[in-house]
Structure 1
Amino acid sequence: MAKNQFGWTEDGSLIISMKEEHSGSHEAKKIIIPEGTATIEENAFYDHFRPLQVNAFTIPDTVTTIKARAFRNCRNLTAIVIPEGVTSIGDEAFAECVQLRSVTIPQSLTSLGKDAFTGAPWLKKQIKFFRKFQMLGKNILLQYTGQDSKVTIPKNVKYIAGGAFAKQEQLISIEIPEHVQAVGNGAFFHCMNLKEIKIAGNVRTLGEELFSGCTSLQRVELPEDLQKLREGTFRDCTSLKEVIFPIGLTEIGEEAFQGCAVLTECKLPDTVRVIGESAFRNCKMLREFHFPKRLVSVNDRTFEGCRSLQRAELPEAVCSIGESAFSGCHSLEGVHIPKEVRFLGRRAFYECKSLKEVTIPENIPEIPEDAFEYCTSLETVDICAGVERIQQKAFKCCTSLHTVTIGDGMKQIDADAFRACTALEQVQIPETVEQFGENVFYSVPWFRRNPETFLILGRGILMAYRGKMTHVRIPENVRRIEGHVFNVSNRPKIMTLTDNIESMEIQYIPGLTLILQRKGHSIRFKMDDKHYQAGRDEERVFEFWQKKHIITRHQIFHEMKDPIYKFPIAILMYLTEPEDEFYNYYVRRNGMDLLQYMIQHSDIENLKEFTEKGFINAENIDELINIAIESSQHGGSLEVQLFLMDYKRNQIGYESIEDVIAGAFNL
């Protein structure tokens, strides 16, 4: 971990940055936290295995928050002045400070966490008992020690510390009067029999997990001055049916109502701008939810598992829908995705089994993985122009989906995107699509029943071949060939490719004769098992054919070793790129070997081209004729032999009558 920035003062005090850890500060006796620091973070000076030797801290008056365990286990700390302006001290902030005997608490404090000073000698001296209430000073209620089922907070209490009533199973009813300003984290945590709570209107702060696990709580009216409902406030309140929210509320914290299984409706005020992750997760009976007009995002898992939620009319201000935001909302029949939405998380509407139609607006660049997977009632999908990618399994197993319209601008549709959409009969694919993943339309009727011999989609992408021809000529408008186009039942013996191909994923086809066409010329070679097992040159042929950049092609050609693949490429490129010195040099250097290759492979057309360019002359004609004669005896073309003999007779001439007889009778 990165060390803090720190420096020493003349008196030996350490000035330390609060941005990261306190590494390097173990030797200091006094630490000065610099002016401008607003928050002392969790565990800032806490080290369980190697406690700090610091006996004094200076906290500036710019600090407003001291988070959980910030000074825990500072065993040499004897005194601390918490300046005015600090409003919150977190759980266990000064716990186990076993020599802490002097603490100055500011009047500005509104929240004191659970066990904030546990183990400090100062705390023992400060605790006072008022009837059944353990008090810190006059205003802070630390803990309730009684066994009453109904409790009213004393009039002098302004703050209820974290955990003050935690796990008080006998507690049934509690009243928090108007003089209380703040209630700390987990103050009523797991009060399992708490059924009734009255909170006065001017309570401004309610801590995290305040009523978490209060499984008997049925109804809550939140105070009028409350602006933020913190993390886990009502988590797992499994009997909670009704919550009345104040008009000025602006934020709902993470997991605030998670697991409130019988909560049926939620009418948030339009002042709410933020709803945290998992805020209403697994509220299984939640049917109606009012989305506030100012809401800007639906965060991760916010409504995951809300099986009864029927509609999601998202306000126009929403610009983000997080991961699994509505996953498992089985009753969700309709959702309005606003035009301003720019991010859609994976599994956002996963298994929304009642959703019937959806429109993806133009500002969403990608439909993420599993976004609508298993939406089994989804019938129509309209993807607006501007959306560029559909990720894998986005609409997998949408078994009622019959119509998909994809607007211009779509570039990529990933593997299994529409797999097992068994009712899909109509799909509109724009010409802008450049790539399809594997099994995009697996078990899709529209794809399976398409009668085209060559099914070409998007920007010249060959998706399927329905023919049975032994010689397949790939159409010139094909730019990309997807994998598994050719299977066991339709594998060709000969395949012709043009130079328009930019990308292909053809798997090895045993015995395939490949013909490459370019600028009116062509070459062929056979991919047999022997050469396929020998190395990667057969793969380099396909790679070479896809790459169009001159230097890249030079590099791939240079890496080829096997003449079975290298020679035909050299022949074709020499004939079609006569000004390219790279191929010129190679051909001039290996001319005789290339001529022999053309003879042995009966490539008479290219042999004629090389003849016209002066590669055959009086010095090599006899050797070439002998090669042709030997080749014809092993199945080679007699036409090549006759061509060479005619060329010698007409262009070079015979030296003697014996030469003529030998040529005529193959002697």
Structure 2
Amino acid sequence: MRRILVLFSIVLEMSVLKASNFFVDGLGYTFIKDGEVEVTDQCFDTVGYSGKLVIPAYVPYGGGMHKVTRIGDNAIHSCHSLTSVTIPETVVAIGDFAFWNCTNLDSVVIPNSVLTIARGAFQCCIKLKSVVLSENLVVLGDYVFEDCHSLPSLTIPKSVKYIGEYLTYGCERLKDISIPASVVEIGRNVWEGVRISYVADNVADFCRLNAFNSSVMKGAIAGDSISYIIDGKEIETIVIPDTVKTIAEAAFTYCHSLKSVTILKGVETIKAGAFFRCKALTNLVLPESVKSVAYNAFSWTSISYICCYASIPPEAGLIFRYGDVDYYEAVHLYVPCESLEAYQQHSEWGSFQNIMCVEDYRQTARKLFYDNQVIILRHDATKCDMAGRVLP
């Protein structure tokens, strides 16, 4: 009988802890597990936190001290008089819509203990001007800063791997954002409708549909395994580093303003539609590492020159399938001299009517003239520049 009573008391205590809500100094808490609590949803328009809110690291309750490890879902939403919040180093996660619609919140510092910021955490904080993120943050969820109209800049720490969709959607004052090389995935419409002028220092390995839609970003450095940057209408320059092996299907589709693509040696595969409808793109340099170029890769572009350094003609199929000109007649293809015949006999590359020999770019410099444009190849050059600039 005594053993049964002891077991009953333990079960009862655990159930009370699990379901218990309590208040300390005006803040509501809920037990997550024994010894740990989260700030809970207790804030409404009529009973809200105001001014400068300081969340404690530990709170007393039931004769013990309990660690605050999470700011719960909707915990401090719609607190219109709240201007700033201090989050303790014990917190590891910020829940869904935790500070949603705190319309006068103007600054927040996320401590280095925080690993995850869930969806909509600061959505509609229209006066938020300053955000310092945790240096150990891994996940930035969907809509985290959506409609933060006053936010001018955002620095994403080097620890972040995942950026959710619509992260800064509608942040019309956002001009500068820094994305580290650690990021492996960027959600769709992340910067739609914002006025980002530059993104550094890469654009992740995988960018989902419309990641840059309607932004005015001018330049980008692509990540280590670029997949999709669809409809980045204002992107003008792209640098694809030598760590990239594959430019995936539709990677730069509808980047109408894209004028310059620098593909460094390392890329082996360019998949279907990679540069489809990049109407401002006028020339292209393919490094010697390229082994295959897929269907429609350059359709509906303005390419008039291709300089391909691959000694063995890359596998290719209808790379200019569609367009408003006969690309195979209009485009001038420059290839290594020793491979000229191989290109001419190739089922795809042989369709080009203007295939010309370019001496090995490691040899003595030479000039090629065509329609008053000059191409200067230096003996130690690593790429061909059709605009006539002298290459180092």
**Separation in 1 of the partners of 2:320 and 2:120?**
46
Q: Which residue of 1 aligns with 2:176?
A: 288
Of the three residues 319, 324, 327, the one matched with 1:443 is: 324
* Equivalence for 2:144: 257
What amino acid maps onto 1:396 in structure 2?
F
Equivalent residues of 1:158, 1:179 under 8 A apart: no
Describe how 1:273-312 pairs up with structure 2 within 5 A: 273-278=160-165, 280-285=167-172, 286-291=174-179, 295-301=181-187, 303-305=190-192, 307-312=194-199
Contact 2:184 2:205 in 1 (8 A): yes
Provide the secondary structure at the position in 2 that maps to 1:447: helix
- Report the structure, 1 or 2, having the larger strand content: 2
Matched, 1:176 2:54: yes
> 1:416 touches 1:442 (CA, 8 Å); kept in 2?
no
Structure 2 residue corresponding to 1:342, chosen from 211, 216, 224:
224
Asked if the contact 2:163–2:187 (Cα under 8 Å) also holds between the matched residues in 1, the reply is: no
> CA distance change for structure 1 residues 253 and 105 in 2, over 3 Å: closer, same or farther?
farther
Distance between the aligned counterparts of 2:341 and 2:12, measured in 1? 80
1: CA distance, partners of 2:162 / 2:152: 16
Q: 1:164 to 1:375 in 2, by over 3 A?
A: same
**What is the 5 A alignment of 1:620-639?**
none
- Report the Cα offset of residue 415 of structure 1: 2.0
- Aligned partner letter, 2:347: R
Query: Match of 1:103?
Result: 14
Query: Is the CA contact (8 Å cut-off) linking 2:124 and 2:147 kept in structure 1?
Result: yes
1:396 aligns with 2:276: yes
**In structure 2, C-alpha distance between the alignment counterparts of 1:223 and 1:395, rounded to whole Å:** 39
How far apart, in 2, do the equivalents of 1:131 and 1:363 lie? 54
Matches within 5 A, 1:369-408: 369-408=249-288
Q: Which amino acid aligns with 1:411?
A: K
The TM-score, its normalising length taken from structure 1, stands at 0.41
Aligned residue-pair number: 322
Decide which of 298, 309, 312 is 1:418's aligned counterpart.
Answer: 298
State the alpha-carbon separation in 2 of the partners of residues 392 and 358 from structure 1: 18
Q: How does 1:101-500 map to 2 (within 5 A)?
A: 101-103=12-14, 117=19, 159-165=37-43, 168-174=44-50, 175-180=53-58, 181-188=68-75, 191-192=77-78, 194-200=80-86, 202-205=88-91, 206-211=93-98, 213-214=100-101, 216-222=103-109, 224=111, 226-232=113-119, 234-237=121-124, 239-245=126-132, 248-255=135-142, 257-268=144-155, 272-278=159-165, 280-285=167-172, 286-291=174-179, 295-301=181-187, 303-305=190-192, 307-314=194-201, 320-324=205-209, 326-328=211-213, 330-337=215-222, 341-346=223-228, 348=229, 350-421=230-301, 423-429=302-308, 430=310, 431-437=312-318, 439-440=320-321, 442-444=323-325, 446-449=327-330, 478-480=345-347
Deviations 1:615-663 (A, max 9, x none): xxxxxxxxxxxxxxxxxxxxxxxxxxxxxxxxxxxxxxxxxxxxxxxxx
Could you say if the C-alpha distance between residues 407 and 443 of structure 1 is closer, same or farther in structure 2, counting changes exceeding 3 Å? farther
The Cα shift of 1:335 comes to 1.2
Q: CA 1:128 to 1:427, structure 2 compared with 1: closer, same or farther past 3 Å?
A: closer
User: Shift of residue 395 of structure 1?
Assistant: 1.0
**What is aligned with 1:52?**
none
SS of residue in 2 equivalent to 1:371: coil
SS for the counterpart of 1:374 is coil
CA separation of 1:444 and 1:408: change in aligned 2, threshold 3 A: farther
User: Greater relative contact order: 1 or 2 (C-alpha under 8 angstroms, separation 6 or more)?
Assistant: 2
Contact 1:404–1:428 at 8 Å: present in 2 too? yes
- CA–CA distance in 2 between the matches of 1:406 and 1:436? 16
**Aligned counterparts of 2:83 and 2:69: Cα–Cα separation in 1:** 15
Q: 1:332, CA displacement in angstroms? A: 0.9
Deviations 1:326-378 (A, max 9, x none): 431531111123xxx431122x2x22222222222232121112211111111
Residues 418-470 of structure 1 show CA distances to partners (whole Å, capped at 9, x for unaligned) of: 1111x322122344312224644633565343599xxxxx89788xxxxxxxx
Query: Partners of 2:196 and 2:56 in 1: how far apart?
Result: 36
Match of 2:360 in 1: none
CA distance in 2, matches of 1:320, 1:80: 53
Q: Distance in 1 between matches of 2:29 and 2:246?
A: 56
Q: Which amino acid aligns with 1:480?
A: S
For the aligned residue pairs, the C-alpha RMSD in angstroms reads 4.1
- Equivalent residue letter for 2:284: V
The structure with the largest alpha-carbon Rg is: 1
What residue is the counterpart of 1:48 in the other structure? Answer: none
Deviation at 1:320, TM superposition (A): 3.0
Deviation of 1:417 after TM superposition, in Å, equals: 1.4
Where does residue 355 of structure 2 map in the other structure?
A: none
Contact 1:366 1:387 in 2 (8 A): yes
1:247 positional shift: 6.6
Find the aligned partners of 1:238 and 1:359 in 2 and give their Cα distance.
Answer: 35
Instruction: Mark the CA change 1:345 to 1:304 in structure 2 (over 3 Å): closer, same or farther.
Output: farther
Q: Secondary structure at the match of 2:254?
A: coil
Separation of aligned partners in 2, 1:232 and 1:445 = 48
Give 1 or 2: higher helix fraction.
1
Quick check: 1:369–1:393 contact (8 Å CA) kept in 2?
A: yes
After superposition, the Cα gap between the structure-2 partners of 1:247 and 1:397, relative to the gap in structure 1 and judged at 3 Å, is closer
Deviating above 6 A after TM superposition, structure 1's stretches of 4 or more consecutive aligned residues are 127-136, 458-462
Give the distance between the partners of 2:306 and 2:319, measured in 1 at CA: 17
3-state secondary structure, aligned to 1:173: coil
1:306 Cα offset (Å): 5.3
Over residues 518-570 of structure 1, what are the superposed CA-to-partner deviations in whole Å (9 max), with x where a residue is unaligned? xxxxxxxxxxxxxxxxxxxxxxxxxxxxxxxxxxxxxxxxxxxxxxxxxxxxx
Give the TM-score taking structure 2 as reference length: 0.66
The residue that corresponds to 2:63 in the other structure is: none
Provide the C-alpha distance between the structure 2 equivalents of 1:314 and 1:301, rounded to a whole number of angstroms: 17
Identity over aligned pairs, percent: 11
Give the structure 1 partner of residue 380 of structure 2. Answer: none
The answer to whether the 8 A contact 1:408-1:432 is kept is: no
Whether contact under 8 Å (2:121, 2:145) holds in the other structure is yes
- The alignment partner of 2:324 has SS state of coil
- 1:193, distance to aligned residue in structure 2 (A): 5.0
Per the TM alignment, residue 101 of structure 1 is displaced from its structure 2 partner at its CA by 3.5
Aligned equivalent of 1:613: none
2:147 and 2:136 map into 1 onto residues whose CA distance is 20
